[in-house]
A and B are shown apart, each in its own frame.
Chain A
Amino acid sequence: MTIERPAIRVPPVAAMTLLLVAVWYAGAFWLNTPQAEEALVRAGKPWGWSELLAQAYAMKRPILPTPDQVAMELWSSLTAYAPTSPRNLLFHAWVTAEAALAGLAMGLALGTLLAVGIVHTRTLEFSLLPWVIASQTIPILAIAPMIVVILGNLGLTGLLPKAVICMYLCFFPITVGMVKGLRAADPLWLDLMRTYSAGGPRTFWSLRLPASLPFLFASLKVSVAVSVVGAIVGELPTGGQAGLGARLLAGSYYGQTTQIWSALVMASLLSVLLIGVVRAVERALLGRGGAR
């Protein structure tokens, strides 16, 4: 079991964060200078380096907003409106999370089912696996509008088309992980089951499935992050009334770069949170038996 050492973990993380923030500020200055210069010239007052710096970091529609601008936007959105208001990012994050989680659940079911089939039937391995891999070579941006259009035509709108797009992205890591996991049982462990004259289903539930869980959770951590991306992509073609994707789209319509960046930060926070949830479930389920 690894020993947790939070005291030693904090400084490297903090140092890296500081470095990134510094790079961000430098980048913002470099990208926003032309616009800032123009604004100062138009104002017609004499200006120097300090005025230019202040102007570059305080643009209304900067090419790259500074971290403090993004943080302020995020903060005012979260505090100034009720969580149920479309002006609050929490509302949009929840809409996206709903679709991502529904898609993850569907992807988990589909991925596991495929893996069980592939592991137990050789024919399925040869007939299904190439299609499973081929499915991931199609760019999701291309197929997402098709899914929205087709399902919309069938009368299915709202959460379901987005969840289907998430499922399309999610099932692949889960299938690959579970195929490996279900085959991970040690030959001795299988022999042991044989000496107990345990049948196929018994061996599956008592041996193959628990042996595959570490692989499943590794896949789930990938899938849950990918699922958030899928949900956001699914919100773009709908014209988007709600969700982080809709927020991104609206921001780009009106050139509200700060709004775009705050939605992006919110999306990554959502992913981090969901991965944290998966890790917590993993820890609760595998417990100390999983840690070695």
Chain B
Amino acid sequence: MPTPPPLPSDGAPAPMPAPQPAPALSAAPSAAPAAPAAPAAGGRPIVELRGVSLVYPTADRPVTALSDVALTIAKGDFVSLIGPSGCGKTTLLRVIADLERPTAGHIAVEGMTPEQARLKRLYGYVFQAPALYPWRTVERNVMLPLEIMGLPAAERRTRAREQLERVGLSGFERKFPWQLSGGMQQRVSIARALALQPDLLLMDEPFGALDEITRDHLNLHLTQLWRATGKTCVFVTHSIAEAVFLSTRIVVMSPRPGRILDVIDCDLPRERTLDIRETPAFAAIAHRVRQGLKEGHSYDD
């Protein structure tokens, strides 16, 4: 993880936003005034969670994976969930995707229950591993969700080509997953998620297993993709730099029990290059995130 330049001790630089109460329930992204190119939709809530808890029954005692989580994600937002392992960030994402059922609380995805949203295929999900089917070529992997949707073959092919081009993999259609590098495989899995043309993209540490150079490259790629498509992204990570670089809002979580500690607005301009990581504004936000993690005793052990 690249360490940002040290913060001047006399205080935060001017553009730093005022601290916000946590957990935040506000729907409006406060990034909007800072970035005039904000989404036209103006922050209609797309995901709403209220009082969500998830308790796993285990042999000795129940484990609380999520405790009273409240969060609103507006359309066009890029929200990162960050925290140490075991803080429930992946569980939270899986709850939104209806891959896990919460034991208490209310969730709405596009005004529906997560199950309805899943059945209507309203989101695309990118896993930690590329999860490509090894017996399918790259192109046929991207076409898989479209086959299940029952689209005609010609349309499937067009859409797959389109999305592969978008992630910079034109010409690799006929390759098999094992013929691609890890970074390329993960790009295929992003193309596969995009092929569904969802408004909501859920990503679970998609670049966690990649080396830092590839990761930088894909981060840049992803932020450009997000800006170009105007999709809403929920992104799980344990890298502070990655979270600050990509997000409009950063949700800081802490373990035992998994809960939200702070929601930090990340009002850097929407158009970002890797150089932005050297600016004082970037360092200030990274500092706040680290401060938030410290308060959650994430650095204790």
Contacts and interface: CB of A to CB of B under 8 A. Distances in A.
B136 A195 contact: no
A211 B148 CA distance: 17
A88 B85 CA distance: 72
Interface in A187-214: 188-189, 191-198, 202, 206-207, 210-211, 213
Contacts of A289: 134-137, 176
B136 A188 contact: no
Given A192-B127, A195-B99, A292 B178 contact: yes
B184 interface: no
B135 A286 contact: yes
B135 A186 contact: no
Interface string A270-286: 00000000000000001
A194 B99 contact: yes
Interface string A42-79: 00000000000000000000000000000000000000
A192 B118 contact: no
B148 A292 contact: no
Interface residues of B, number: 27
Contacts of B145: 196
A290 interface: yes
Interface in A63-102: none
B41 interface: no
A191 B147 contact: no
B234 to A, nearest CB: 13
A5 interface: no
Interface in B113-164: 118-121, 123-125, 127-129, 131, 133-137, 144-145, 147-149
Contacts of B109: none
A255 to B, nearest CB: 54
A288 interface: yes
B133 to A, nearest CB: 7
Contacts of A198: 148
Contacts of B144: 196, 206
B121 A210 contact: no
B97 interface: yes
A10 B135 CA distance: 31
A186 B131 contact: yes
A198 B119 CA distance: 9
A191 B98 CA distance: 10
A198 B133 CA distance: 15
A213 B135 contact: yes
B113 to A, nearest CB: 13
A207 B127 contact: no
Interface of A is mostly: helix
A210 B178 contact: no
A192 B97 contact: no
Nearest to B144: A206
Most buried by A among B118, B148, B196: B148
Contact of B133 (A191, A197, A210): A210
Contacts of A210: 133, 135
Contacts of A191: 99, 125, 127, 131
A186 to B, nearest CB: 7
A286 B134 CA distance: 10
Contacts of A194: 98-99, 118
Contacts of A202: 148
Nearest to A292: B178
A217 B34 CA distance: 61
B147 A206 contact: yes
Contacts of A193: 148
Interface in B32-86: none
B119 A207 contact: no
Most buried by B among A207, A213, A288: A288
Contacts of A286: 135
Contacts of B176: 288-289
Contacts of A213: 135
Contact of A207 (B118, B121, B124, B133): B133
Contacts of A292: 134, 178
A198 B125 CA distance: 14
A214 to B, nearest CB: 9
A40 B224 CA distance: 95
B131 A189 contact: yes
Contact of A197 (B121, B129, B131, B147): B121
Given A195-B99, A210-B135, A292-B178, A188 B129 contact: yes
B137 A195 contact: no
A51 B144 CA distance: 75
B147 to A, nearest CB: 7
A206 B148 contact: yes
Interface string A134-160: 000000000000000000000000000
Nearest to B129: A188
- Among all A-B residue pairs, the 10 with the closest Cβ atoms: A289-B135, A188-B131, A195-B125, A197-B119, A196-B148, A210-B135, A196-B145, A198-B148, A292-B178, A289-B176
Interface of A: 186, 188-189, 191-198, 202, 206-207, 210-211, 213, 286, 288-290, 292
10 contacts: A188-B129, A189-B131, A191-B127, A195-B121, A195-B125, A196-B196, A197-B119, A206-B147, A207-B133, A289-B134
Given A210-B133, A289-B134, 9 more contacts: A189-B131, A191-B125, A195-B99, A195-B125, A196-B196, A197-B148, A206-B144, A206-B147, A289-B176
